[in-house]
A = this chain, B = another copy of it.
Amino acid sequence: MGTPTMEDVAKAAGVSRALVSLVMRGSDKVSDASRERVLTAAAELGYRPNLAARHLASKRSLTIGLVLNDLHNPFFPEVADGVHDAAIDAGYHVLINSGFLRGDLEREAVESFIDLGVDGVLLAGARISSADLEQLATRVPITVIGRHLRSTAVDSVNNDDRAGGRLATEHLIELGHRRIVHVDGGQGAGSSQRRSGYTAAMRDHGLEPEVISSQFTEEAGLRAGQRIASEGPAPEAVFAANDVAAVGVLGALADHGLRVPEDVSVVGYDNTSLAGIHHISLTSVDQDRRTMGSLAVEVLLERIGGSRRGAVHHVIAPSLVRRATSAER
């Protein structure tokens, strides 16, 4: 007879189906004796509630969808850890989808989460357009992690990328560097703020900003590094918009015989596990990803629960972690 249903459990326990439903949902309007009977009957039959049916009837799924922009960037797994912790605590399940670095696929991922009936969606490192985001937010509560928003419909949790960009740049300036090139993150989340923090810090110190357009991937960092190393004299320092790109830059510099940090200092962003690897030991701007993930869940659940109307935008302060790739001139 296939997998047991609530009906089967009710029959086995000698009660009505509605009573079983109450027990399964942990209601306190059930006598201990009945609860006991139902629970043992359910255990004996190996009964498990059918989520699709529950969801169809109740309009809630106790599930949130998490869209990660790029599974290959170690930044995201750590966000996912924080999300999981907080979600489990709140009794929610988490389902993950990858955006494969593409805004259109992110949109699709969100849509399939909506079709699936999740109660809310978390977007990490989102590259999706603001217009799409606003539109999707009319259909499901959305919180974005790691991207700046001034939306009234979508909540966000982020670090202060502008301050982080400034932090990295001023660190290099303090070390005595004057010609500092920024390898930016293109359309990536937070990229323009990091760039603007860099530019502002340079100007403040009477230095000329020099930006190379790039992407949040090692591949793109490598290409940027090759340009830096081959076109004219090498700069004194490079600030890459994230760790993954910084690693690409490091590789290109090494290929061209440039020593780090003796010839060129390099700073990254995110302080991912990559930066901590002994052989890389990359100076990087840290944002507490785990906390951001947990905070995002809280914010999302507030909106799902309807305990808040307006949007909230959390911004946490980044900090600089000094390692071996940056040194005095």
Interface readout for A74-97 with B: 1 if CB under 8 Å, 0 if not?
Answer: 101110110010000000011111
Residues of B near A95 (CB, < 8 A) are 95-97
A76 to B71 CA separation, bound complex (whole angstroms): 9
The yes or no answer to A139 lying at the interface (CB within 8 A) is yes
Q: Does A309 contact B (CB under 8 A)?
A: no
Q: Which residues of B contact A152 (CB under 8 A)?
A: none
Q: Does A72 contact B (CB under 8 A)?
A: yes
Does A278 reach chain B (CB closer than 8 Å)?
A: yes
Number of copies of this protein chain within its complex? 2
Partner of A56, one of B52, B81, B278: B52
**B112→A277 contact, CB < 8 A:** no
CB-contact partner of A114 in B48, B74, B252, B254, under 8 A: B48
Q: Does A213 contact B (CB under 8 A)?
A: no
A52 neighbours in B (Cβ, 8 Å) = 51-53, 55-56, 61, 116-117
- List of B residues within 8 angstroms of A93 by Cβ: 112
* CB atoms of A115 and B50 under 8 A apart: yes
Given A97-B95, A254-B278, A279-B254, residue A218 in contact with residue B115 (CB < 8 A): no
Chain B residues with CB below 8 A from A55, complex form? 52
- Choose one: B72, B81, B111; the contact of A77 (CB below 8 Å): B72
Can you name 15 A-B residue pairings with CB atoms under 8 Å? Answer: A49-B115, A52-B55, A52-B117, A71-B76, A72-B78, A84-B98, A96-B97, A96-B98, A218-B277, A247-B277, A250-B278, A251-B278, A252-B278, A254-B278, A277-B280
